[in-house]
Copies of this chain bind each other. A is one copy, B any other.
C-alpha cells in the first residue's frame, strides 16, 4: 500500500449533502427507498469527496462491538498510565470496554491499527506514535472515528485533543525568568512529536522575547523517559561546561530523571545550584524527593473532550470540526523553582 489522500466517510458525505447518514446508506443500497433528488444530491457529494461505500462500515452501524481501542506506547511515563486508567473508567461508565494495544519496536503503529480494526472496535484513541496517512485511510474507510490524544497531525482533519503546549512552554519560561534565570537547558522529547515541538517552541519564544540569547539555551534529547532525563544531564556535565541556571524537562518524568542525576551523579543542589521545571503534572512529580514545578495538563477535561468528540452513542452525527482547540494547562509552583528573584 502507498500513501493516499484521506478517504471520505459517509459522515462527511451526509454533512456535505445536508442529509442524514442513513440517507447516504440508502443511496448506496440497491432497492432502498429514497427520493431521486436526494439520491442525486448524495451522489454529487460522494463524487466531490471521492467517497466509496464500504460494507464493513455498514455492518458496523448495525451491530456495535461496545469496545474502544486505546493504542499505547510504553507505560514508563506515568502520564500515560493515568490516561489509560481514566479512559478505562470513563468508557466503562458508558458501557464500553477498553481494548488496549501496546506498541513496541517489532509492532509498528500501522500494524496496530490494522489489528484493532479486526476487532470491529467502535473508535480508536491513539496516545502514542505518529499517525500515517495510511492509518488515517484505514480508519476513515471503515467509518471508525479516531482521536489523537496528547498529539495532533496538522491539517489532517483528525482530532488532536491536547493541552495548550505552546502556552504551557511560555508559562514555564516566564516562571523561570521571574526567578532570575538567564541560562537554560532543555531536555526534549520525541523530535517528531507535536507535543515536544510545541512545548519547546513556546519556551524558546518567550525566552527570546525577554532578550535571552539563543546560545544561552542548550538542548539535549531525553527520549521521553526517566533514564533519558538522567542521560541528558550526564551528557551536559561530560562537556565540562557550566550547568545553566535552570533545566526544563519537557515532560515531568524526564525532569525527575534530571533531578536525580543532578543530585545523585553530580552532587548539585536543586534548586540552590540549579532550578528544574517539568510539564504534565503527574502525581509522582509532587512527591517528597521532587516537589517539581510544572504545568499540569487538564487530563480529566482532555479525556472528556475525547469522549465527547467520539460521540459513541450517536456516531452518525458528523464531527464538529470547529472544536479542534488545545485546552489550557495550569502552573503548579513547587520547591524546584524558588519564588521571587534570586
Contact = CB atoms under 8 A, between A and B. Distances in A.
A289 B82 CA distance: 23
B67 A99 contact: yes
Given A81-B75, A85-B75, A92-B107, A100 B102 contact: no
Contacts of A119: 66-67, 97
A102 B107 contact: no
A176 to B, nearest CB: 23
Contacts of A104: 89
A92 B101 contact: yes
Stoichiometry (number of copies): 2
Nearest to A119: B97
A287 B226 contact: yes
Interface residues of A, number: 32
A180 interface: no
Contacts of A116: 97
Interface in A92-120: 92, 97-102, 104, 107, 115-116, 119
| Interface-central residue, A104, A116, A261, by most chain B CB under 10 Å | A104
A99 B99 contact: yes
A260 interface: yes
Given A287-B226, A289-B260, A97 B99 contact: yes
Interface string A280-305: 00001001110000000000000000
A100 B101 contact: no
Contacts of A133: none
Contacts of A287: 226, 260
A44 to B, nearest CB: 40
27 contacts: A66-B119, A67-B119, A72-B88, A75-B81, A75-B82, A75-B84, A75-B85, A81-B81, A88-B100, A88-B101, A89-B102, A89-B104, A92-B102, A97-B99, A97-B100, A97-B101, A97-B115, A97-B116, A98-B100, A98-B102, A99-B100, A100-B100, A260-B287, A260-B289, A263-B288, A284-B284, A288-B289
